Amino acid sequence: MDLPNAVTKILDMDLEDRNKIYRELIRLNDNDLSYDWFQEVYESDLSERKQKKQDFTPNSLGVLCSLLTSQTGSIHEPTAGNGSMIIADWWQRCTKLLPWEHFPSQNIVSCWELSDRSIPILLLNLSIRGIMGYVYHGDVLTKEVKQKYILLNRKDDTLSFSEIIKADTNAKIVQEL
């Protein structure tokens, strides 16, 4: 039950300390970034399936959707959850190229998530993979935003982590597609 709060503490650390934990998480997961490490825990213990009708996308479905669309450029995920669909798509794009041929800035992600519990895990999942883009913590249907985050990979390198920047939520929301 404390996972979202623990992840938030990691995300709030200075980048050097956060990145040490990121490297350890990668090591503990056998250097496998192809799936959402937290999905099973979240589904069984943290989700609010009955109250908010939250459901989850199996990794195999995310991979299938990525293969069917097989496009480059921006992707939009209006109900991101922990980011499993984005991770599956990212993995498919990365495996088609050598690491130095895949540029996060050419594959910008824009996603929305309403759940307070999912947002920390979503931010960790995207930033540990060096993904660039925008995360809106809010209601995609009403466009009400609690917090907007910008994921910035300054090196534009698939093997680098992204910074998480809290943006001004008073600014007008424009879809970055």
Per DSSP bridges, beta strands 163-167 and 144-152 are: antiparallel
Locate the DSSP E strands across the chain.
75-77, 109-113, 133-139, 144-152, 163-167
76-134 pLDDT, tens digit per residue, is 899 898 998 899 989 988 888 877 788 999 999 999 999 898 999 999 999 999 999 99
Whole-angstrom Cα distance, residue 51 to residue 143?
21
Closest among 105, 104, 61 to 85, alpha carbons compared: 61
Closest among 16, 63, 13, 59 to 37, alpha carbons compared: 59
**pLDDT interval class at 177 (50, 70, 90):** very low
Where b means 16+ CB within 10 Å and e means fewer, 45-67 reads: ebbeeeeeebebbebeebbeebe
pTM: 0.86
Share above pLDDT 70 across residues of the chain, in percent, rounded to a whole number: 77
Q: Which residue is associated with the tokens 């466009």?
A: 143
What's the pLDDT at 101? Answer: 86
Fill in the DSSP letter of residue 99: G
Strand order in the sheet with 133-139: 75-77, 109-113, 133-139, 144-152, 163-167
Domain boundaries, the chain: 3-167
Residue 175 has pLDDT above 50, yes or no: no
- In this structure, are residues 161 and 153 in contact, taking their beta carbons and an 8 Å threshold? yes
Whole-angstrom Cα distance, residue 145 to residue 171?
10
124-161 pLDDT, tens digit per residue, is 999 999 999 999 999 999 999 999 999 999 999 999 99
Position with higher pLDDT, 22 vs 115: 22
